[in-house]
Amino acid sequence: MSEQPVSSNPAAGAANRSEPADGASVHGKLRLLVLGALGVVFGDIGTSPLYTMHETFLPEHGLHPHPETVIGVLSLVTWTLIMVVAVKYVSVVMRADNKGEGGIMALMALAQRAVRGSNRMRKLVMLMALLGGALFFGDSVITPSISVLSAVEGLEVATPALSRWVVPITVIVLFGLFALQRHGTARVGALFGPVMTIWFLALAAVGVWNVIRAPAVLAALNPWYAAQFFMAHGKTSMLALGSVVLCVTGAEALYTDMGHFGRFPIRAAWFGFVLPALLLNYYGQGAMLLHHPEAIANPFYHAVPDWALYPMIGLATLATVIASQAVISGAFTVFRQAVQLGFMPRMQVVQTSREAIGQVFLPWINRVLMISVILTVIAFGSSNALAGAYGIAVTGTMAIDTVLVMVVARRMWHWNRLLVLLVLLVFLTIDISYFGANTLKIPDGGWFPLALGLCTFTIMTTWRRGRDLLVREMQQGGLALKPFIEAMREHPPLRVPGAAVFLTANQHAVPHALLHNLKHNKVLHERNVLLTVEMLETPVADPDERIRIDAMGDEFYGIELHFGFAEVPNVPQALAQCARAGLAFDMMDTTFFLSRENIVADKRRPGMALWRDKLFAFMARNALPATAFFQIPGNRLIELGAQVEI
């Protein structure tokens, strides 16, 4: 595979692939990207004030809203936001962009290239990244559920009689959100950006209004109060820590959605707007609790002036819908990358922007997420019940990100070994502390994201292993190509005009489709091409690595087409570029041949357990056909069946 350098441009990604040359246009586009990032990237972390303080002071945690406890919790929230989001993700992890793309899969490809000399390390990196991606799916199901539920539950504060309508309203709101996804991240971001701007301004205003009345709460800026909280509460502090981590849910989405907007717009929005607004609101809730401890029943809405309660409920509902957008668009990114890198079955990928290659829509993933989220809302019924399930997937993914980015820092950024160990120790201590605190929630719902993650991990590893076994079986049973070409030269069959393109995974063996065509039709085309499509570990293939042509003699050619994992592979378009190398294709005179494998699970063959063989066969039957995935026109295609046992 081709190797590409790590991008170090702060505006890497979608942002800088389409910037105009003049300065005014650049600044205008940057402002739009910042606005779009507010609408898509920060929704999840931006709505965490709705439930973080309330969940931390749950009665079962044994905490009471005394002034020292409130300031201690606020100090924990403050330094969690600073260390996890501002320092770790925004300042360090987002440097690990794979040609502008972010997310666990892009980081995996980057880390695998960093340890390319060790197959054992590459496999370990792959397994860790797949586990992180699987946990991210669990987070993608829970985040929309708890976010929208917590907002709609504001109706219970305003009018308790409306409590029975909370779940139905939540389901309707979520259904509308998933219906919007087909319009693409850019349009959704343009719609949501202004709403989130108003939301963050409202958070800050509510915070300032309360802090002015109790400025003593600002003492929480001192990290010593967080340390005192731990010393004073012992084991109880670990239960609280499992809820405090809710303030950083969405940090992974900042990195995952980097390919949609670029690194610099996300950083600018975070430091210039989002972080100050979040801190002000948390401190405002703390100020309210200092004077009215009974407000702990719902500190977010009790901190809002009475006249603004209903408008805030409406705004919060909109904001939580947008919060769900952050993880939904992140899920599209992660699963598109998983498909391209060969860890998920082929599925339809819709490019929703002509300018930003990272903006995609996956209809199948959208449907699965919608059904999963709605069923989760109905099953759990309240944000309190879901809080037990929230956090463990987030913290697990965070810990994996830490390890992988430090591999990149050491092997590709050439950081000093001592510096890498120090940074790893600091970040991993934080991540493991939060993960350990959340393991206490496993009996109360924490099992749910773990179960979702286990299912997703099983699907990804089964597909990858099954594809490897399938390729091995096809290669073992293939006829060597070189002797075949020599035999055709000595005993030439009838040649018919045109070009035949045979899709194959092995350039050194005769494709089954070619043999069937020769056996049954008794002819060969004038030009025969063995075509292999390979996905790179970089988001976009450079022009000079897109095509590799090998002339084999007697009008036989081997062609390898390379696509990045962020690209939609278009085979006819790529073949048209072969004319530059003197091998022109007339699509109206070109026929594509493909062997469609009918996979049969055989327990006598070594490889996977029988149930995994059957699972792989089921996924292969329902995967998007390779021809549709590679944009091959159906009227130029001939498919031939082949049975393969694994």
Element housing 624 (H / E): none
Res 106: pLDDT: 85
Res 514: pLDDT: 87
Res 189: pLDDT: 60
Residue 149 in contact with residue 316, Cβ under 8 Å?
A: no
Dist CA 25 CA 21 (whole Å)? 7
| DSSP-assigned states of every residue in 297-360 | GSHHHHTS-GGGHHHHHHHHHHHHHHHHHHHHHHHHHHHHHHHHTTSS-----EE--SS-TT-E
Strand partners, 551: 557
R_g of the chain, CA atoms, integer Å: 27
Res 27: pLDDT: 66
Residue 34 in contact with residue 28, Cβ under 8 Å?
A: no
Q: Tens digit of pLDDT for each residue in 558-570?
A: 999 999 887 888 8
Dist CA 400 CA 405 (whole Å)? 9
Q: Where in the chain is the domain with CATH 1.20.1740.10?
A: 24-465
**What pTM, to 2 d.p., does this model score?**
0.79
Profile the chain (646 residues) by mean pLDDT over runs of 10 residues: 34 39 61 79 86 85 87 95 95 88 86 87 92 87 84 74 81 87 67 87 96 94 92 83 87 80 88 95 95 88 90 86 76 86 88 63 91 91 77 88 94 94 95 90 86 93 90 73 88 89 86 83 89 86 88 90 86 88 86 80 76 89 85 82 68
Residue 330 in contact with residue 150, Cβ under 8 Å?
A: no
Q: Around 490, how many Cα atoms within 13 Å sit in the side-chain half-sphere? A: 6
Crossing angle of the two packed helices 119-152 and 363-380, in degrees rounded to 10: 50
Strands 590-600 vs 494-503: parallel, antiparallel or unpaired = parallel
Res 221: pLDDT: 95
Res 386: pLDDT: 81
Biggest alpha carbon distance in the chain?
Answer: 96
Number of helices (H) and strands (E), helices first, in the chain? 28, 10
Q: Which two tokens stand for residue 629?
A: 């995935």
Q: Which two tokens stand for residue 44?
A: 């999840």
Dist CA 152 CA 160 (whole Å)? 12
Q: Which residue has the tokens 């026109």?
A: 633
Element housing 381 (H / E): none
Res 101: pLDDT: 81
Strands 509-510 vs 590-600: parallel, antiparallel or unpaired = unpaired
State the DSSP code for 510.
E
CATH number of the domain located at residue range(s) 24-465 in this protein:
1.20.1740.10
Q: Tens digit of pLDDT for each residue in 235-276?
A: 788 888 888 988 998 788 788 878 777 888 899 999 999 999
Q: Which two tokens stand for residue 422?
A: 């120090």
Instruction: Please write down the long-range contacts of 572-581, taking CB distance under 8 Å and 24 or more positions apart.
Output: 572/631, 572/632, 572/633, 573/631, 574/546, 574/547, 575/501, 577/546, 577/547, 578/547, 578/549, 581/547, 581/549
Dist CA 362 CA 348 (whole Å)? 6
Res 17: pLDDT: 39
Strand partners, 98: 101
Q: Which residue has the tokens 């924990």?
A: 76
